[in-house]
């Protein structure tokens, strides 16, 4: 490997040009690399949830958790299993050994859950298997507050959600703090009795008329088309006009037997921003996009939408952001840049006082050069700039300085003994090559 030093010394101009090109590429790589707070680390863990409306915590443990523990306990590579049983819900967290085969493990978990699901009581909803991924955490939360009707606030949030999710860099913008709309049907027992209709008949009519019915396929010259019979409710008026029974020439509808109104589900949780109830959009970016640029684009887009609102709406609804990770990442990037500049300045001052101007310039030049070459490699390998990368670079400053000082000090000693600058630095690089490599 020391022969590389002789080869480089014989082609000094080409090496200088190569260094300039590498530094330029490093600058472009640094400005173009995506920046994010947390690296995309694959965590060997899965979380399984099974909703069951109305089940108690004790029954959830007996009827849901135990069948899952029995089937999931035999999966290869399982390190730890933690179960949770509560009202309306059961969940199991699975932790696996590092080096797991995620594809095979996911298939094994699905097979085990299918076997466990066969032992669930009727009423349990379909299970879901969720991975833990830091890159899918929200990078910014858009909060909407104001004294407007809940339906108006929800509509505004959904309009913003559609615009935000239309951005290339955004994976999703999930809405929290809102309640889903529902149709509330209040049955009047006196009306049922007067029309001679039982509650069971009414329930069957509603159930049988609110489902999607497949009616086969139609083959034509243009291709095969699926046929469906529209038999589900699309509008509230469809529920009002639902025929329940005939009484002579008159058709008795659901609207004749009950009070029907469009309302919201009971609130199970709430979101607050600056002490006010809010409807929030949690924005998650796509993998590979710059966190800072994405968060900035989301803020600018939302502010442009707010500016386009009517004056009375802007006065009633206030928009704010929270949990903005771009500010954290931008601070870390600034901290890295400041640490590098501080390290260069301190090293150059110390070396200048002890070894002279030439040695100080060479040592100071080694730090940004090494960092920029590192950014080129990060770009080639597809690694983003994250807090782990930044802290690693800061820690590497000490080792970079040590190696540069050792070489420069030895070369300076040889120059004082009468050797020429080129031969002194070549000898120093060859003499200190393996000690520096082994120490770093």
Q: Is the pLDDT confidence value at 232 over 60?
A: no
Lowest mean pLDDT among 169-183, 206-220, 419-433: 206-220
The pLDDT value given to residue 40 = 67
Six-digit token string for 179: 């309640």
- Please name which of 132, 136, 104 lies closest in space to residue 45, comparing C-alpha atoms: 132
CA gap 84, 102 in Å, rounded:
23
- Please name which of 329, 290, 390 lies closest in space to residue 33, comparing C-alpha atoms: 290
CA gap 415, 230 in Å, rounded:
92
Give the model confidence (pLDDT) of 123-176 as tens digits.
Answer: 889 999 888 776 678 889 999 998 888 888 889 999 999 999 999 989 889 988
Buried b (16+ CB within 10 A) or exposed e, 73-96: eebebbeeeebebeeebbbbbbbb
- Confidence label for 183 from pLDDT (cuts 50, 70 and 90): confident
Lowest mean pLDDT among 28-42, 119-133, 368-382: 28-42
CA gap 432, 407 in Å, rounded:
6
Mean pLDDT, residues 372-401 taken together: 81
Furthest CA-CA distance within the chain? 122
Q: Is the pLDDT confidence value at 253 over 90?
A: no
Q: Is the pLDDT confidence value at 283 over 90?
A: yes
Structural domains of the chain ordered from first start: 3-37+328-439 (1.20.1640.10), 42-133 (3.30.70.1430), 139-180+267-322 (3.30.70.1320), 181-264 (3.30.2090.10)
CA gap 322, 144 in Å, rounded:
11
Six-digit token string for 415: 């120059």
CA gap 361, 348 in Å, rounded:
7
CB 395 within 8 A of CB 41: no
Six-digit token string for 88: 């309306």
Q: Is the pLDDT confidence value at 216 over 60?
A: no
Query: Collapsing DSSP states into helix, strand and coil, what is residue 128?
Result: strand
Q: Is the pLDDT confidence value at 18 over 80?
A: yes
| 74 or 228, greater pLDDT | 74
The pLDDT value given to residue 90 = 92
The pLDDT value given to residue 386 = 78
| 8 or 376, greater pLDDT | 376
Mean pLDDT, residues 409-432 taken together: 83
Angle at 130 between CA 126 and CA 133, to 5 degrees: 165
CA gap 63, 415 in Å, rounded:
83
Give me the percent of the chain exceeding a pLDDT of 70.
Answer: 91
Six-digit token string for 295: 């968060």
The pLDDT value given to residue 64 = 92
CA gap 297, 324 in Å, rounded:
12
- Please name which of 30, 23, 21 lies closest in space to residue 379, comparing C-alpha atoms: 30
How many residues appear in the chain? Answer: 440
Radius of gyration of the chain (CA): 34
Q: Is the pLDDT confidence value at 388 over 60?
A: yes
CA gap 214, 229 in Å, rounded:
6
The pLDDT value given to residue 298 = 93
């Amino acid at each position: 490997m020391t022969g590389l030093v002789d080869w480089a010394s014989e082609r000094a101009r080409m090496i200088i040009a190569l260094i300039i090109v590498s530094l330029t590429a490093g600058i472009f790589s640094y400005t173009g690399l995506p920046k994010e707070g947390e690296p995309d680390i694959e965590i060997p863990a899965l979380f399984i949830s099974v909703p069951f409306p109305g089940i108690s915590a004790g029954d959830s443990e007996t009827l849901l958790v135990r069948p899952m523990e029995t089937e999931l306990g035999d999966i290869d590579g399982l390190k730890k299993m933690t179960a949770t049983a509560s009202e309306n819900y059961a969940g199991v967290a699975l932790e696996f050994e590092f080096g797991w085969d995620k594809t095979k493990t996911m298939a094994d978990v699905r097979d085990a859950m299918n076997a466990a699901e066969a032992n669930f009581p009727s009423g349990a909803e379909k299970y879901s298997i969720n991975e833990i991924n830091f890159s899918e955490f929200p990078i910014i939360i858009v909060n909407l507050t104001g004294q407007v009707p809940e339906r108006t606030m929800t509509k505004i949030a959904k309009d913003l959600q559609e615009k935000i999710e239309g951005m290339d860099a955004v994976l999703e913008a999930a809405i929290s703090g809102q309640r889903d709309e529902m149709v509330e049907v209040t049955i009047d027992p006196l009306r049922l009795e007067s029309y001679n209709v039982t509650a069971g008949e009414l329930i069957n009519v509603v159930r049988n008329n609110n489902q999607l019915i497949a009616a086969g396929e139609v083959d034509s010259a243009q291709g095969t088309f699926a046929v469906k019979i529209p038999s589900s409710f699309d509008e509230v008026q469809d529920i009002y006009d639902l025929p329940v029974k005939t009484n002579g020439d008159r058709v008795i509808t659901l609207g004749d037997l009950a009070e029907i109104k469009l309302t919201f589900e009971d609130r199970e949780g709430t979101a607050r921003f600056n002490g006010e109830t809010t409807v929030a959009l949690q924005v998650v970016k796509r993998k590979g996009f710059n966190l800072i640029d994405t968060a900035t684009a989301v803020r600018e887009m939302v502010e442009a939408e707010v500016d386009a609102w009517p004056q009375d709406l802007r006065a009633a609804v206030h928009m704010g952001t929270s949990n903005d990770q771009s500010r954290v990442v931008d601070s870390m990037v600034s901290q890295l840049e400041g640490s590098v500049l501080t390290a260069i300045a301190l090293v150059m001052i110390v070396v200048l006082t002890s070894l002279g101007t030439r040695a100080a310039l060479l040592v100071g030049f080694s730090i940004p050069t090494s960092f920029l070459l590192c950014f080129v490699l990060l770009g080639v390998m597809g690694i983003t700039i994250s807090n782990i990368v930044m802290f690693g670079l800061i820690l590497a400053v000490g080792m970079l300085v040590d190696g540069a000082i050792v070489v420069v000090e030895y070369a300076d000693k040889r120059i004082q003994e009468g050797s020429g600058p080129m031969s002194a630095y070549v000898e120093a690089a060859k003499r200190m090559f393996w000690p520096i490599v082994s120490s770093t």
